[in-house]
Structure 1
Amino acid sequence: MPLRNFLEGIKDDHRIRTTHTAVFLTLYGLWLENNGHNPIPIIKKKVMEKAKIISQMTWHRTIIELNEYGYIEYQPTYNRTRVSTVSLYNIVL
């Protein structure tokens, strides 16, 4: 399960802050709503609301770092008519 793997992975990962956890848990909830299928279509504004993130800079930094750290695969779209996608992994980091 992605949640178990995330929690196991962050135990010794000093880079992870509460915002990372809030975003990941929100994405995990969306993954469950998507019946555990990847990728998950995401709308930034809705994910930010659920994760209680107000700042666009905080959102951008957090989602990019989760991607760079290997916890998710984030595929942003720069087209306002298309949604970005995120994939959660079932691997232990």
Structure 2
Amino acid sequence: MNYIKHLTAFYEKVAQDNSLNPSHISLYLALFQFWNFSRFRNPVSISRDEVMRISKIRSKATYHKCLKNLHSSGYIDYQPSYNPFQGSQVVMLDFAEVLRLTCKQRKKIQ
């Protein structure tokens, strides 16, 4: 996993997505940090309190809304656990691969 290429592709995707706000981006970067700590293995087990602390989101409603929006927009695959003693699972999608494929398509067109 090349995290620089991944984040570059993420920001390119975010720049075109008008439905996201700073809370979404902050939450995604907190999730990315958890993914990084797990050496980019999927799925990543997350703790709501830790993710909220890192992303600086203070409202549980905002946290859940942003998490669901990131899931429905194709940034992550969120699998809630509904168990307070077990973390929810998040699969981080590989945007570096998407960026590589997009660059190949651009070269073909030119």
TM-score of the superposition, structure 2-length normalised? Answer: 0.79
Residue 53 of structure 1 corresponds to 57
CA contact (8 A) 1:3 1:28 kept: no
CA distance in 2, matches of 1:62, 1:46: 15
CA shift, 1:4, in A, is 2.5
Q: Could you tell me which of 13, 17, 24 is aligned with 2:21?
A: 17
Q: Which runs of 5+ in 2 are unaligned?
A: 100-110
- Structure possessing the higher relative contact order (Cα contacts under 8 Å, 6 or more residues apart): 1
> Deviations for 1:9-55, whole angstroms, at most 9, x for unmatched residues?
11111001000100011111111110011111000011001100110
Matched residue pairs, number?
Answer: 93
State the Cα distance separating 1:67 from its structure 2 match.
Answer: 0.2
Shift of 1:5: 2.4
* 8 Å Cα contact 1:5/1:90 also seen in 2: no
Unaligned runs of 5+ in 1: none
Which residue of structure 1 aligns with residue 77 of structure 2?
73
**Deviation readout 1:53-85 (Å, 9 max, x if unpaired):** 110110010000000000000000111121101
Match of 2:40 in 1: 36
Whole-angstrom CA distance in 2 between matches of 1:4 and 1:27: 16
The AA in structure 1 aligned to 2:90 is: V
Larger radius of gyration between Structure 1 and Structure 2 = 2
Moved more, 19-28 or 2-11: 2-11
